[in-house]
Amino acid sequence: MSDAPSPAAAARRLIRGLDRATLATLSGAPDPRESPWPYASLVLVATDPEGHPLLLLSDLAEHTKNLKRDSRASLLFDGTAGRDDPLTGPRVTVIGNAMPIADEPFLGRFTRRHPAAAAYAGFGDFHLYLLNMMRAHLVAGFGRIDGVAAADLATAPAAALAEAEADILAHMNQDHPATLDLYAERIAGLGAGTGWRMTGIDAEGFDLRRGGCVARLDFRAPVGDAEGARAELVRLAKLARGSL
């Protein structure tokens, strides 16, 4: 039996695990008799606890002007970095409507994922957007192409875990920094190094960051509260130390 994740799980992992994407919007046509043209741009991305992409966009940016005219958008998450042949690597295009959202916890998730964004997150022309995902197109390599429905792109709400997220992050970052370094080195395979911080936790796993590098670690099974998350964090710590 193959250990490969399902298309939906692979798509979710790319969306949660990558911190940037290519945003495609519809530009305003200079001549009203013309149809809009596709416009692609680089954006930083985080996710809400259920996995919907979050974008922090300036009103002055061309892509934001486009979204105000037409909320339809797509995001390309490219997981092919470092491969000799990029076309053998995974990537997923997510299609949906990008709408502004005022949510302080979600903004906190974004700025923890992208610490530099905290310097401008409070500016009056910056607003948080959430992509309401409608479907996705996953290419996991040559001949491995699947469509993923909206219902399979997000995880079920885990309100108890979302409420405990800030406390879990504070505890891990303050009390267990060496364990975070072990997660990155021995489970994510990113080599020895110190200074990793946990930036988010959700039902399926958690996110780490050190400087410009990010890492995503998955739980064995979804969790719904702080106790379930603690059990998985302990299990992964034992795995990293070689005691499992």
Specify the CATH number for the domain of residue 219.
3.20.180.10
Q: Are residues 36 and 51 in the same domain?
A: yes
Interatomic CA distance for residues 212 and 196, integer angstroms? 11
Interatomic CA distance for residues 142 and 200, integer angstroms? 32
Start-to-end C-alpha separation, the chain: 23
At residue 19, the 3 state secondary structure works out as coil
Q: Final residue of a domain: which of 152, 171, 191? A: 152
Q: Are residues 118 and 94 in the same domain?
A: yes
Which residue's entry shows tokens 């920094």? 177
Query: How many structural domains is the chain composed of?
Result: 2
pLDDT at 92 over 70: yes
Spatial contact of 39 and 24, defined as CB atoms under 8 Å apart: yes
Specify the CATH number for the domain of residue 42.
2.30.110.10
Spatial contact of 83 and 142, defined as CB atoms under 8 Å apart: no
**SS percent in the chain: helix, strand, coil, step 5:** 35, 30, 35
Q: Express each pLDDT in 165-194 by its tens digit.
A: 999 999 999 999 999 999 999 999 999 999
pTM over 0.85: yes
For residue 205, is it within any domain? Answer: yes
| Tokens read off for 226 | 């702080």
At residue 41, the 3 state secondary structure works out as strand
Q: Are residues 169 and 146 in the same domain?
A: no
Q: Express each pLDDT in 93-110 by its tens digit.
A: 999 999 999 999 999 999
- Average pLDDT on 115-120 reads 96
Q: Are residues 140 and 42 in the same domain?
A: yes
Q: Are residues 80 and 30 in the same domain?
A: yes
Q: What is the DSSP letter of 227?
A: H
**Containing structural domain, residue 171:** 159-240
pLDDT at 33: 74
